[in-house]
Structure 1
């Protein structure tokens, strides 16, 4: 038996792929097929999915109100990705330039806050942004405002929550790329007349593109479908498409519409990711 197993590489490869393939089929492809089927169903008087097949859910999903929510969610997620990149790049650079013996400690320190419960961290942000919280006190203390302003239940509050929650997903891929970067290339660029800013954009950024692309996708995808952060920080006044989808499956009881919106969101995010990867690949090929 073992001899035949060794002599047949195809069988060996199949056995290695079987656990992952089983997991993919049971927990992704089958649920996706169920969601796809429900999206083409109607609703009975109790709200349960029922036949005959129909495209009413998709027609409803493309209502201007929902399209506006899709666009707003994409826009806020894009701003979240840009903000995490602006914050994460200096942090990753700082860690990558440290002596090797300190790098693991710094990564550990970056990750420590995110080992706590997600809800606890979100409620901590709520405390910081409330009317009598530290943020308003600081702004009044420096004279920027005369009285507390409403920061919660706004797009700004949701954006802050998304940036904070997704920051590690940008820092770690960037650090992984920067750790392998050959810093003598920056010195060579400086010797050839490039200043620090030009060397960063013309040399370092293109060569660390894999980490940048990975971090952007890992940040953008969870942000665009976020629910808990939007629910707590938005307070019902600022919403995104992930919260609307959860409402359709929950209190609204409109599973066909929720399924249709889920599939539309998945297609949009997949297309955006493919275009982003192709653009990044084209830039790397041009170098």
Structure 2
């Protein structure tokens, strides 16, 4: 009885994969090609296309019409309609942003509030993530659920709840007056303090979860080795734990900083009418002034501002991964 010699290549070797790919039908190869292409298709449809529309509006002029800007490309005229619209585009709206200090002040205020809030989130979130990572394995699922639990309630309802807590006759002032800490109600609502409280509460899970994911994989024997070599616990924390947790710190900071810069709901509800943030300014331009081209120019500038930290983080991560190889 003859025996067919078995292949010397392991099942997952490159040669085996090449043979399997060659035997696969065109439908299978198409599916395999679509899988890595899906994220790019998603970005093309839901990011690049809306950005092109907003950028087109930023080069237009405001008008009392529907939609409230010109030129609108007349596709019925074909190429002539497109060329006629392109000839009317200009960068005047971007020039207006430099002439009016309001937009620069809004951007700077948003960056300031986002930076301070991110630092506060890190100061609050790092001990929480550290305690979760050090907790017994049987308690970790419960702790994770407690962090995620606020997402089960509407974001708007949670922000409205803080109005009831922070207003002069609210729960916080009632408790402080009841225990004799203050004599008169504190004016916290409609201030930057209320914005910081609302932002830190709302975005805390976005800081805790990346930190926990990083700290949970930390080799705790490194801390024990540092202490065995005479390193005090606080020094071991700064020289061992913090450097190893930097990827989680950077990821959490970006996840918080970028959306906070464009935050609208929290400053509108907790900051009051005098709060100055770029998201609120955008809303006023779109819905009150009906100046869509100028608002679109602000949105384009804001996108450029927030893309900067992302590109820096990507470059640093690339260098870190190259060094670790």
Global fold match (TM > 0.5): yes
Kept in 2, the 8 Å contact 1:39–1:57? The answer is yes
8 A Cα contact 2:254 2:309, kept in partner: no
TM-score (norm 1): 0.90
Question: CA 1:5–1:131 in structure 2 vs 1: closer, same or farther (change >3 Å)?
Answer: farther
Aligned to 1:180, what secondary structure does the other structure show? coil
Deviations along 1:32-90, one digit per CA (max 9) or x if unpaired, are: 11111111111124482213212121112222221011011001001111111111111
Change (3 A) 1:67 1:5: farther
Instruction: Quote the Cα distance in structure 1 between the aligned partners of 2:90 and 2:62.
Output: 10
Does the CA-based 8 Å contact 1:213-1:280 persist in structure 2? Answer: no
Give ranges in structure 1 of 5+ residues lacking alignment: none
Choose from 38, 46, 49 the match for 2:69: 49
266-275 or 141-150, which deviates more: 141-150
Q: Which residue number corresponds to residue 184 of structure 1?
A: 221
Mapping 1:147-158, distance limit 5 Å: 147-158=184-195
Summarize the Cα distance change of 1:30–1:284 in structure 2 as closer, same or farther, 3 Å threshold: closer
| From 30, 45, 57, the counterpart of 2:49 | 30
Equivalent of residue 146 in structure 2, options 101, 106, 109: 109
**Aligned residues, how many?**
286
Q: Secondary structure at the match of 1:145?
A: coil
RMSD, aligned CA: 2.5
Corresponding position of 2:108: 71
For 2:184 and 2:308, the matched residues in 1 are separated by: 45
Instruction: Indicate if the aligned counterparts of 1:248 and 1:257 stay in contact, CA closer than 8 A.
Output: yes
Calculate the TM-score normalised by the size of structure 2: 0.80
Choose which of 135, 142, 162 in structure 2 pairs with 1:125.
Answer: 162
Partner of 1:60: 96
Cross-structure match for 1:16: 35
C-alpha spacing 1:180/1:32, structure 2 compared with 1 (3 Å): same
Q: Is the 8 A contact 2:58 2:297 kept in 1?
A: yes
Paired with 2:151 and 2:56, the residues of 1 have a C-alpha distance of 37
Q: Matched residues in 2 for 1:6 and 1:283: separation?
A: 38
From the CA coordinates, give the structure whose radius of gyration is larger.
2
